[in-house]
Amino acid sequence: MAHELPALPYDYAALEPHVDATTMTIHHTKHHQTYVNNLNGVLDKFPELKDLGIVDLNKAVGTDKLPKDAATIIRNNGGGHYNHSFFWKIMTNPSNTNGPSGEVKAAIESAFGSVDEMQTKFNAAAASRFGSGWAWLGVKADGTLAIESTPNQDNPLMAELSGTAAMTPILGLDVWEHAYYLKYQNRRPEYIAAWWKVVNWEQVADNYAAAKAGTVPV
């Protein structure tokens, strides 16, 4: 089964002025497409892996389920494909974002004391990630929320390798320079602050419900 670049659930300018249309176009059609192409390329050489979905491929990273000759390519490109497929869906036009509510808000307040405190800790994880990587909010095995940061295209599904707490992501932020440099240059904290204004909290709530039910959102 070949992997495909998913269509965005909005147009490239929908996140303006916080995430610019040029960045979104390049990020989606160039960077994400390259991860898909590279992943399909390695899976063509290992057809026994083609029936694994993107979640299972990411969970297999760092285990003996992946052939050594394929492991690094799948880690980088399978991670990139999963991470970006997840990332596009948790953003929306700024007019549609109203902050967390319901069960996900209650879970955030239980874990961090307040939504503001969660955002402060998340921002710190995103801003302090050296080089390229991601910041994540996820549900741990005990049902509580935690924040993690991963390098490159790693994610918490790769717990065997990444050194992070095993958890199911419900919110994630790309802090690779290609995600923000055209608009924000080296001002990563400014990009992080602006990004909260396009978070799709309804999708985060759906992700939380899925994670609680034992399903990994894509």
- Give the residue ranges of the annotated binding site for Mn(2+): 27, 84, 174, 178
Q: Which of 155, 187, 174, 193 is nearest to 54 (CA)?
A: 155
Q: Are 76 and 31 in contact (CB under 8 A)?
A: no
Amino acid code (one letter) for 197? K
Binding residues: 27, 84, 174, 178
CA 154, 159, 160: angle at the middle one, nearest 5? 110
Cα 123 from Cα 119, distance rounded (Å): 6
Instruction: Produce one character per residue of 68-94: b if its CB has 16 or more CB atoms within 10 Å, e if not.
Output: eebbebbbbbbbbbbbbbbbbbbbbeb
Q: Are 166 and 215 in contact (CB under 8 A)?
A: no
Cross-strand pairs, 173: 135
Cα 39 from Cα 54, distance rounded (Å): 10
**Taking the CA of residue 98 as centre, how many other CA atoms within 13 Å lie in the half-sphere pointing to its CB?**
5
